[in-house]
Amino acid sequence: MSVSLLAASYNIRKAVGGDMVRRPERILAVLAEFAPDIVVLQEADRRFGSRATALPIDLLADHGWTPVPFDSRPASIGWHGNAILAGPRIALRDRLKLEIPALEPRGAVLAEFEVSGAPVRVVGMHLDLSGLMRRRQAHAILDTIAGRQSMPTVLMGDMNEWRASAGCIADFAADHHIVLTGASFPATRPIASLDRIFLSDDIEAIDSGVHRSPLAARASDHLPVWVRLGLPLPPR
């Protein structure tokens, strides 16, 4: 037996759409179109000042989302712009901010959940523009996972890697399988698979893809990518 879960990754560009207008309600409307249970976000916080969330907390609550608390800055929901939102059926077990080597302000976040009795670890990331640094960041993330309790694991985020199977993609794929979603950038005419999902071998990918809609094409410069998971139930 397994538990079904819809997970997604979405670079929301601080809720600024192709019209250069910040409209957080538009991001939440895109998520409502395909209704994931868990979503990792990139560029979820504003870059300067207090790094306040681009998605107001009350608006998230109105749409049934609970941000995983990473206790970084009082007005922020993430860590270096990386955030994880959980829907109502998701119970949080643990969370962790990941310090990774970086030339730019970069980070990654990790949360461990229970979904209808099935455990799952979710890692969200936004990797560097530098190829060399991306590989160092990938190894830092994988080392952190290796040092924790074994658990079905989903790694998602904006890898900033244009190549299909080289660099950090090969590093993650060494111990995880790549979920084929499709091109997600730029949102208006996607040609690059910058947004990626990797799964540990104990998770089944039932279905996957890129969420395309007229609203999603306007809401950010990236489209969301998603995967329908079959999570194994632990033995009784």
**pLDDT tens for each residue of 133-187:** 999 999 999 999 999 999 999 999 999 999 888 899 999 999 999 999 999 999 9
Average pLDDT over residues 35-57: 88
Average pLDDT over residues 193-218: 98
Angle value at C-alpha 217, between 30 and 205, nearest 5 degrees: 60
Average pLDDT over residues 38-63: 89
47 vs 8, more confident: 8
Q: How confident is the model at residue 50 (pLDDT cuts 50, 70, 90)?
A: low
Q: How confident is the model at residue 76 (pLDDT cuts 50, 70, 90)?
A: confident
Q: Write out the two tokens for 99.
A: 């310090």
Q: Name the residue among 162, 227, 229 with its Cα closest to residue 10.
A: 227
Range(s) of the domain holding residue 75: 2-232
Determine the pLDDT at residue 48. 62
For residue 206, what are the contacts with CB-CB under 8 A and spacing of at least 6? 4, 228, 229, 230
Write the pLDDT tens digit of every residue in 83-134: 999 999 999 999 999 989 987 778 899 999 999 999 999 999 999 988 789 9
What does the alpha-carbon distance between residue 93 and residue 112 come to, in Å, rounded to a whole number?
A: 5
Q: 3-class DSSP state for residue 213?
A: coil
Omega cis (within 30) before 69: no
Q: How confident is the model at residue 72 (pLDDT cuts 50, 70, 90)?
A: confident
Kindly state the helix (H) or strand (E) to which residue 135 belongs, with its residue range.
helix 131-146
What pTM was computed for the model? 0.96
- Return mean pLDDT, the chain: 94
Place of tokens 């049934």: 64
Q: Name the residue among 188, 156, 148 with its Cα closest to residue 85.
A: 156
Angle value at C-alpha 37, between 33 and 42, nearest 5 degrees: 80
Which amino acid appears at position 134 of this protein?
A: R
Cβ pair 201, 176 in contact under 8 A: yes
Average pLDDT over residues 192-216: 98
% pLDDT > 70, the chain = 98
Virtual CA dihedral for 52, 34, 9, 41, nearest 10 degrees? 0
Domain CATH code at residue 216 = 3.60.10.10
**Contacts by 201-206, CB closer than 8 A, 24 or more apart:** 201/176, 201/177, 202/152, 202/232, 203/120, 203/152, 203/153, 203/154, 203/229, 203/230, 203/231, 203/232, 204/2, 204/229, 204/230, 205/177, 205/179, 205/229, 205/230, 206/4, 206/230
Q: How confident is the model at residue 49 (pLDDT cuts 50, 70, 90)?
A: low
Count how many domains the chain has: 1
% pLDDT > 90, the chain = 84
Q: Is residue 195's pLDDT more than 90?
A: yes
Cβ pair 167, 134 in contact under 8 A: yes
